[in-house]
Amino acid sequence: MKPIFSHTYTNYSYEFFLDANLPDKDLVTCVFCVLTDESSKIWLTKNHRGWELPGGHIEVWEDFESALKREMQEEIGVEADDFILKGYKKITNFEKTKNREGGFYPFPHSYILYFIGKSVSKKVVPFPYEHDETEASDIFSLEEAYKIIDNPNNIEILKAILEK
Q: Using alpha carbons only, give the angle 88, 81, 37 rounded to the nearest 5 degrees.
A: 95
For residue 99, the model assigns a pLDDT of 86
Kindly indicate the confidence band of residue 77, based on its pLDDT and cuts at 50, 70 and 90.
confident
- Tell me the pLDDT tens digit for each residue of 111-129: 999 999 998 876 665 554 4
Model confidence, pTM: 0.91
- Which domains are assigned to the chain? 5-163 (3.90.79.10)
CA 48/CA 151 separation, integer angstroms: 12
